[in-house]
Chains A and B, each alone.
Chain A
Amino acid sequence: MSKTEDVRVVYDAGLLHESGELGSPGTFHALFDSLRANGPVVRSTPDAGFWLLTQYETIVAAAQNPQIFSSASVRPLEPDPPYVWNPLMLDPPEHTKFRQLLTARFGPARVDELEPSMRQRCINLIEDFAGRGECEFVAEFALRFPAAILLEIMGLPDSDLNTFVDWENLILHGTPLTDPDHSKAFGAMVELMQYFNDVIEYRKANPRDDLISYLPTCTVDGGPIQEADVLNILFLLFAAGLDTTTAQLSYTFHHFATHADDRNRIVHDSSLVPNAVEECVRYYGIVTPARKLTQDTTVAGCPMRAGDMVAIPFASANRDPVEFPNADSFDLGRFPNHHLGFGAGPHRCLGSHLARRELRIALEEWHKRIPDYRVADGAEVLEHGGGVLGLETLLLAWK
């Protein structure tokens, strides 16, 4: 059998990409496990079709090689998008010019500075509902906590949090039922961009030490940054930074709500929390970007052509048994843990330092106040697929 015939055509893209189908938690990770068992490369055949890599080794290599695996498109069924998210869809060296403007603003030292304020925001959110004995975790905590912190980083007032979360829901979480012609999403996007524009203009006259004051003062290629690029970057931070952290928080708390032994261990020994964060990000990988080939290439013996789309599910890499002993077990003591939950290569998650700290603070502060909780009786927990996996709702209850 030739290497080409090794490629199994088993994969229906509809299961993964924006079909709106829901499953019980674990549905999509089980799908990746079954795809990986079929081989290192699978082909999705509906619509334009795309390749999907299943193993850690090939996924990390693709992420680290933008010369061949371009980010000109990052969605597997959209090879020629009519938009460019900056810097997510740029390749080096263009990517580097914009990325380097942002890295220190989201780096480890900046996160240390933000920590006291992040912790207080987290405590306030939890104490709002702790006495009630239940909460809808996704809407009341997982959406609001990262959004509140992003508002602070950007320099936007706390009073805009509800509006910000509403825009996020309309822009990122519309379904064929709620927004069939995307008009609600489009309307919200226009409002959001106008809002950013107004704040940019205001901050030019009244600058502070925040992201919206800083970005328009940046220099690119020896000249002032274009206003369109500033707006584009702000929109990307909004679109990429909120949904992902919300999903990661939701999976993490669903895990501890349904695994009492793991929960008791972190309740009684908070020094386990940093390791717990890494294992949650590994075990519940959520992001599946794609890359577009700039030239013919071969991956794991499979020939591919220039222009082909290649999906690189980090969730699949993170449960590859070649890289991780007992890869399909959640292990609080796993160390070291070189997971790809935050990706790899030049597009490594810009917010990884922030997200790690948010997850750590949430686990610490929640379990000080609500050590014993469960999924509420009769509550159904549903998972959505797509480029970013996540939980639709998570009703938690405690005494």
Chain B
Amino acid sequence: MRVSVDMTRCQGHACCYEFAPELFTVDDSGYSTIGTGKLVPPGQEEKARFAIKSCPERALSITED
């Protein structure tokens, strides 16, 4: 599983970081720094899905390998 952020939508809420900081890194302003196609370590898929659903901007997405 890989996760990506659409930086045209990210507004720095950092909800993803709040719930899964080891997966969803942010900069000092709260904007996502995961870029495109960041690999989710095995076993963290459920956490990644929940963090993505907590984004009010719908800026995050998942692609399955």
- State the A residues within 8 Å of B (CB): 60, 64, 100, 103-104, 107-110, 274, 335-340, 342, 344-346, 348, 352-353, 356
Contact indicator A108/B30 (Cβ below 8 Å): yes
**What residues of B have a CB within 8 angstroms of the CB of A337 in the complex?**
54
CB-CB nearest 8 A-B residue pairs: A103-B29, A336-B54, A336-B53, A104-B28, A348-B11, A107-B29, A109-B28, A104-B29
Selected contact of A352 from candidates B13, B19, B50, CB within 8 Å: B13
Question: Which chain B residues in 31-53 approach chain A with CB under 8 Å?
Answer: 31, 50-51, 53
Selected contact of A336 from candidates B17, B28, B50, CB within 8 Å: B50
Q: Give the complex CA separation of A104 and B26 in angstroms.
A: 11
Contact indicator A274/B18 (Cβ below 8 Å): yes
Minimum distance in angstroms from B48 CB to a CB of chain A: 11
**What residues of B have a CB within 8 angstroms of the CB of A344 in the complex?**
11, 56-57
Selected contact of A64 from candidates B17, B18, B55, B57, CB within 8 Å: B57
Chain A interface, >50% SS class: helix
Residue of B nearest to A340 (CB): B56
User: Chain B: interface residue count, which band?
Assistant: 20 to 34
Q: How many A-B residue pairs have CB under 8 A?
A: 62
Selected contact of A353 from candidates B9, B30, B50, CB within 8 Å: B30
**What residues of B have a CB within 8 angstroms of the CB of A100 in the complex?**
29
Residue of A nearest to B11 (CB): A348
Other than the given A60-B56, A104-B28, 20 more pairs (CB < 8 A) read A60-B57, A64-B9, A103-B28, A104-B27, A107-B12, A107-B28, A108-B14, A108-B18, A336-B50, A336-B54, A338-B53, A338-B56, A344-B11, A345-B11, A346-B11, A348-B11, A348-B12, A348-B56, A348-B57, A353-B30
Selected contact of A342 from candidates B9, B13, B29, CB within 8 Å: B13
Residue of A nearest to B57 (CB): A344
Residue of B nearest to A341 (CB): B56
The answer to whether residues A339 and B30 also contact, given A108-B17, A345-B11, A356-B18 and a CB cut-off of 8 A, is: no
- Chain A CB within 8 A of B15 CB: yes
Which residue among A100, A103, A108 has the maximum number of chain B CB atoms within 10 Å of its CB?
Answer: A108
Contact indicator A348/B29 (Cβ below 8 Å): no
